[in-house]
Amino acid sequence: MSPMLPTSWVPRPTGLLPSDPTRYGGPAVAVWMTRVLLVLITTRSLIHLLSPDGGAHSIATIDTGVAGDDNIVAIFGQWGASQLLLVGALWVMLLRYRGLVPFILCVLLMEPFLRGLSGHLKPILTLGTAPGAALNWFAVPVVAVTLYLALCPAEARRP
């Protein structure tokens, strides 16, 4: 019969909403990947909020030389502001409640699906392929694998 390990050394599976959100039991690589994703999303949000055209033409290749172009630019700027609020909340969760890493990743996994659904229901005509459209489905498997890792307990630690 093997000796029992103290409970602090035994890995526990994590969940999307753990009972103690301050403790994270998954591998560090998932936390680092979450940081990388949040940096990318923060950058994207700031570009939409601060660039003169909101990234509508310069990045998303939307023709802004049409009637209502100021509205298009304004909507992109407002979208950046909304993205910044969301990513700000996700940063707070990551920095203060490390146990919510799987929940954060779940939110980040749902986002490309919802953007894809929105693009399907309300297609946007562009002059080229926007980075969001090109990278949308690349992000899904990356975030899904990171979420899977985050839900896996870390290896048992020896004293």
Condensed to tens digits (0 to 9), the pLDDT of residues 106-159 reads: 999 999 889 889 888 998 888 888 887 788 888 899 999 999 999 987 654 444
Nearest to 127 by CA among 80, 69, 61: 61
Per-residue pLDDT tens over the stretch 65-82:
899 899 999 999 999 999
CA-CA distance, 116 to 122, in Å (whole number)? 10
Is 0.75 surpassed by the pTM of this model?
A: yes
What ranges do the domains of the chain cover?
41-151
Which amino acid, one-letter code, is at 60? A
